[in-house]
Amino acid sequence: MANEASPCPCDIGDRFEYGGLGHEVQVEHIKAYVCKPSTSTEKAVIVIQDIFGWQLPNTRYMADMLAANGYIAICPDFFVGKGAWNPSDDWSTFGEWLKTRDARKIDKEADVVLKYLKQQCSAKKIGVVGFCWGGIVVHHLMMKYPELKAGVSVYGIIKDSDDRYNLLKPTFFIFGEKDDVIPLDQVTLLEQKLKQHCKVDYRVKTYPGQTHGFVHRRREDINPQDKPYIEEARKDMISWLNKYI
């Protein structure tokens, strides 16, 4: 579900058996998972969930990975208490479910999280990473919040919006070559239009043979053939953040 115009159900993939190294906090009207690095820092990254919600162990694993690389990582509940999608749910109801979880109507939550990071965590340099539904949120935020130093949209794209190429700060788009949710022609169009219209640094990268969810919903030990690409994408994500934050 990472194409705003034609949302499509996506497979939850390999659910990690992972407890997390951080803890949950209440940030005004929303809950969030927070993990901090071992040493103090003024750098933070907002991690945005996919359709399976902020409590998905895979997403918390990614937040902990960012913390291990020196960032305060926060994964808020951008559904604000509304239930996450369950793989056993009836996919015929997915469109209606999605209407109440608009990836472009999260500014109130973004404001709250930014305030928390600045006031409670002393963060001064903030970036954002999002997966699937969260990738659409990243695309939206990077066109609206100049205070965000860098963004990484992982298989998420705003398709039908005239302003979708007006990025304010450096943004990295990660895609899989065999993603049925975001076909390659959409990726090509994004890259062409960004080249024409975007005035800040950006990068669009497609990873060979990879399907939707490969960065955070696939375990390397179960999919050894994909391990190099999973590791490469995660490394690229960290490098982008390091460069601009």
CA dihedral 53, 58, 61, 62 (to 10 degrees): -80
> Is position 35 annotated as part of the catalytic site?
no
Distance (Å, whole) CA 157 – CA 2: 6
- Catalytic pick among 50, 64, 77, 179: 179
> Is position 179 annotated as part of the catalytic site?
yes
- Catalytic pick among 132, 140, 216, 226: 132
- Catalytic pick among 77, 212, 216, 226: 212
Helices 227-244 and 57-68 cross at an angle (nearest 10°) of: 50
Distance (Å, whole) CA 156 – CA 136: 5
> Is position 75 annotated as part of the catalytic site?
no
H or E segment to which residue 232 belongs: helix 227-244
Query: Which DSSP letter does residue 85 get?
Result: P
Instruction: Compute the residue count for the chain.
Output: 245
Is the separation of the CB atoms in 20 and 57 below 8 Å?
A: yes
Is the separation of the CB atoms in 54 and 31 below 8 Å?
A: yes
Task: Outline where DSSP puts E strands in the chain.
Answer: 23-27, 30-35, 43-48, 72-76, 125-131, 148-154, 171-176, 202-207
CA nearest neighbour of 16 among 241, 223, 232:
223
Active site residues: 132, 179, 212
